[in-house]
Chains A and B, each alone.
Chain A
Amino acid sequence: MLDVRKVSKAFGTHQVLKEISFKINPGEIIGLVGENGAGKSTLLKILATIDRPDSGSISLNNMDYIKDNKTIRKTLGFVPQDIAVWEDFSVEENMIFFEKLGWVKKSKKILHELCLDMKLDRWKEKVNTLSGGMKRKLNLAITLIHEPGLLLLDEPTVGIDLKSKNEIGTYLKNLAITKQTAIIYTSHDMDEIKKLCDRVLCIGDDPFYEEILKENEKTVITL
């Protein structure tokens, strides 16, 4: 599905990513770990077409990231680390707003059901009155409106309670199984990574993450 080949990226003289290569299959959940500044967010932004690599190539479903940029964006979902929602809108208004400007048309009922599946049941409430966990769920729900084939999540559960974390984790697991969505997930929470991911990609030179994950018999690939 996703094929990343020898991707490199530098900011000035600082080499962030150096000839990274990996493949991801449909329905697979991949954890992306590494120390701060190792390049997790940079890689995620490149995969989300927000940034471009200096060298290397990426293809999704045999479509080239540079040539088929527009088509690829239709099959991508990116959940940013910031909560990218309208704070003064209700949950319903946020869902409708992004559905109206999105690729796929969905009825209000389907949008409501999507939220309920995620245990986001405050449909009429304003976002600025919701808990952090609810906001994170909405952040994810908006990304899933157009049913992306590849879902990229940048620390989607940072700063939320354990219950909401588990609910998001369970939802993503089901999503990967039922809709064969490939998921790339960055987090500093190793328990979450161990529980949720089929494989883990370690970025950076620090062997810390690699050792912890190997203790738990996870497939770890060091990039």
Chain B
Amino acid sequence: MKNTILTRFIHLKKHWLSFIFWLILPLIGTITIIQIADELGEDSKIPVGMVLEESTRQSLTLYKSIQDNSLLAVEKLNEDEALKKLEKHELDSVFIIKKGYEESIRQGNRNRLVTSYHSNLSFAYTTVKEMIVSLIQQDTGRSKTAYIVNDLSEEYYQKDKWTWDEIVKTSEIVQEEENLLKNSFSYSDINQTNERPTDALLNPWGIWAVLSVLCSLFIFDWVVKERTASTRQRFFFLNISHHRYLLRNLVIYTIILFLVDIVSFMMINQVYTAKNINFILTLLSFKLMILLGSFLVALCFRKLFNYYSFSVALTLIIAIMSGAIFPIKDITSFYQNFTWLNPFHAFLAEEITMIWTIILTAFTIVWYFRKENDRNA
């Protein structure tokens, strides 16, 4: 094995730059794609100016609710600045929470609580306005409810009287806790509840997985090159058969790529996700499947151009079909019994990839022993 490592080192010396490039591309590519997606998301937010004429609890709550909207880039300004920016079309629209907002809410007054400005280029004004109106309606509705609860408690439950503020605060807590859209459900006969993973449009590990397939295939072009090289005939007279030489190199590449993957795990986990340390096993089992697959695919090709073309096509199909980049949960729900056929399923579900790894290992063993028999025949 030591001698095989030394000979591989001679090969790697010749194209170390491209090797390093393909080695780190999954990590660098994942970080870059996520970064670009974040930047684009920031740039595509609607710039909205907010002016707060009072700093009461209600006005600040409204401001925070508007600010929390992922589609808006909210800027807190004074009125003059906001209007100047609107004139320059640096803001899409401006909303002023008028003085006496909280008082009006308490009184159940829903008119003239917020003043808005827009220009001839305000494309999102109506939408943002509707959103703010709905938030105000929610607040006024809550206020009205608080008065009703207060009246009822006065009438039927004299002991501890609740204030308007207490009722509003409790209502906000209940709204947060009982939010149906974020709740976990379970069947009545099953105690365990599973938190459904959020279907983020860009999953860092999904991007990493797809880039890993492409890079592994490109790194394994050495199999095509060395199988078709004229030097292959020399292996009849060497201490090691050509297929054993290929297999040993597969082990060497696997170890190198595993080490890089552990570093990738630590970096991606640090920046984007907070996966458990056990995820390393999921990751390595997935990578082993990819490497065995790349090795076997490379054994099927004699021309580099055909191999590269197939690699790119395969990666594109995987990117679209596997659900690694684009969520396909609704599509796959139609054929749930066959999800194991998707080689990415286990990895995306954070399970250890077993079936495909076993299948590909079996293929590799069959290939090796068939070649070994041919050589000895």
Query: A residues near B, CB below 8 A?
Result: 48-50, 52, 69-70, 73, 76-78, 80, 82-86, 88-89, 93, 96-98, 100-103, 142-143, 146, 148
Contacts and interface: CB of A to CB of B under 8 A. Distances in A.
A69 B236 CA distance: 11
Q: Is the interface of A mostly helix, strand, loop or mixed?
A: loop
B32 interface: no
Contacts of A146: 237
Contacts of B237: 48, 73, 76-78, 102, 143, 146, 148
B230 A101 contact: no
B3 to A, nearest CB: 4
B254 to A, nearest CB: 20
B117 interface: no
B233 to A, nearest CB: 5
Interface of B: 3-4, 6-7, 10, 14, 229-240, 245, 376-377
Contacts of B7: 97, 100-101
B230 A83 contact: yes
Nearest to A75: B237
Given A69-B376, A88-B14, A103 B234 contact: no
A143 B3 CA distance: 18
A73 B231 CA distance: 16
Contacts of B10: 89, 93, 96-97
B3 A101 contact: yes
Q: Among A49, A96, A100, which residue has the most Cβ atoms of chain B within 10 A?
A: A100
A66 B208 CA distance: 51
Given A97-B10, A100-B3, A143-B234, 10 more contacts: A48-B236, A69-B376, A73-B236, A73-B237, A80-B230, A82-B233, A84-B234, A101-B3, A101-B4, A142-B234
A46 to B, nearest CB: 13
B245 A101 contact: yes
Given A89-B14, A101-B7, A84 B233 contact: yes
A110 B7 CA distance: 19
A102 B245 CA distance: 12
A98 B6 CA distance: 11
A103 B238 contact: yes
Contacts of B229: 86
Contacts of B376: 69-70
A133 to B, nearest CB: 18
B230 A98 contact: no
A83 B230 CA distance: 7
Nearest to B238: A101
List 5 A-B pairs, minimum CB-CB distance, nearest first: A100-B3, A82-B230, A84-B230, A101-B238, A84-B231
Contacts of B239: 101-103
B233 A50 contact: yes
Nearest to A69: B376
Nearest to B14: A88
Contact of A101 (B14, B232, B233, B240): B240
B134 to A, nearest CB: 68
A129 to B, nearest CB: 14
A85 B232 CA distance: 9
Contacts of B233: 50, 78, 80, 82, 84
Contacts of A142: 234
B330 to A, nearest CB: 50
A66 B111 CA distance: 102
B303 to A, nearest CB: 18
Nearest to B239: A103
B208 to A, nearest CB: 31
A148 to B, nearest CB: 8
